[in-house]
Amino acid sequence: MVLIRRSQWLLMFATSAFVGICVLLTEVPLRRIIRQPGPASEKYCNLQWAATAMLLQALQQFNARSTGARIIILGYAFMILILINIYIAVLASQLTVNSINTNINGISDLVNKPVGIFGDAALMLRSLRTGKVSALILDAPY
């Protein structure tokens, strides 16, 4: 069960580095970065730390003053929110599928077993619980 590949992790951390650079360039003029690289690199390190911490759901905050930097941070936070929810949904679905233990692995296992088709939900669940049917068949393309 592989949820996220190594390349996807690298891409997420590269995105946090890119966000740190974008926020730095929005907050500090390029001339000041060239003239005084020390304070700019310190600010970038702090921004990079905050971006990576946001990716990992740690308690670190961005300190942005400009509107452009705040918009970048807001967009990055929204992307992180979506990524985390997708990760949780995929994990939950894989754990659910792996935890279901069925004796039916294919159509050939349904020979001489009572099966039903999807219809009324209450009737369908009652038939499964009482053992009237062993499986339900969904006759719809997906």
What is 124-140 written as a DSSP string?
Answer: HHHHHHHTS-SEEE--S
| Segments making up each domain of the chain, as ranges | 6-99, 107-137
Please count the other Cβ atoms lying within 10 Å of the Cβ belonging to residue 118.
11
Which of 30 and 107 is assigned the larger pLDDT? 30
- Residue 1 has a pLDDT of 53
pLDDT tens by residue, 71-92: 988 898 898 889 888 888 888 8
Q: Do 104 and 135 touch, CB atoms closer than 8 A?
A: yes
Distance CA 51, CA 78 (A): 13
pLDDT tens by residue, 109-124: 777 877 777 777 788 8
pLDDT tens by residue, 38-61: 888 888 888 878 888 877 777 667
Give the pair of three-digit tokens for residue 138. Answer: 């969904």
Q: Could you give the C-alpha distances from 50 to 1, 17, 46, 79, 132, in angstroms and in order? A: 31, 10, 6, 15, 58
